[in-house]
Structure 1
Amino acid sequence: MTKTAKANEITRNWVVLDAKDKTFGRLITEVAVLLRGKHKPCYTPNVDCGDFVVIVNATQVKFSGMKLEDKEYFTHSGYFGSTKSKTLKEMLEKSPEKLYHLAVRGMLPKTKLGRVMIKKLKVYRGAEHPHTAQVSKSK
């Protein structure tokens, strides 16, 4: 008989990922799997089974090809002519937290469940983070 996980039965761990010299896309897919809980045997699609993820050294990640100069992110406020664009390099220097959240959010469900999952992602520019008491394992 298939056992489905209940929200109160789930144990959540804290995972620290060091982004230094890792490829951005591969790191983001690993984060998405951890946030969804697909690495656990008790995975249930309609329950938040995932762990908390802390990413350190966010600005020292690697990109392949010419993505730093060529890839652009667009924002639009809804008003005419208000489209703005930033290159990947500008996003990485100014707000790497936003860059990571945008990339991971695209791999999570577009529902209330996905919005709960993305809140368990913590991104920090440097090696220090305030979650040392909760951290149980590093990768």
Structure 2
Amino acid sequence: MSLLTLGVRDLARSVRFYEQGLGLPRMPSPPEVAFFTLNGTWLGLYGRQAMAEEADVADDGGGFAGFTIAHNVHSEQEVDQVLAQAEAAGATMVKPGHRAHWGGYLGYFSDPDGFLWEVAHNPEFWVGPEDN
């Protein structure tokens, strides 16, 4: 996967959330879309209605989309830091950091458009290039 694009209701609000709130590095892009560099991939933001029209699907936004976006970090403390940073940036805390049944530590927040993010520390999971 090289790019994950989220259809958002308010592009400017979402850009502020991801760029200023979460500190993701923004790439140069046309005004109708925003791209951010992630660890090995990109995140794109695009107007939800325009994305639905482009895909020829309904823009009803109903219910759980059936997926979460996951961010794996190096420690339990970092899970709590990322959750707090997201909440300070305008995210809704869904489930605070807690011990998972599988031995790790995780919590959930939703971004301004309701996309569900999992922030986790799994000591057995590769996090990024610096762990090679």
- Same structural fold, with TM-score higher than 0.5 when normalized by the shorter chain: no
TM-score w.r.t. the length of structure 1 is 0.28
TM-score w.r.t. the length of structure 2 is 0.29
- Higher relative contact order (Cα pairs below 8 Å, separated by 6+ residues): 1
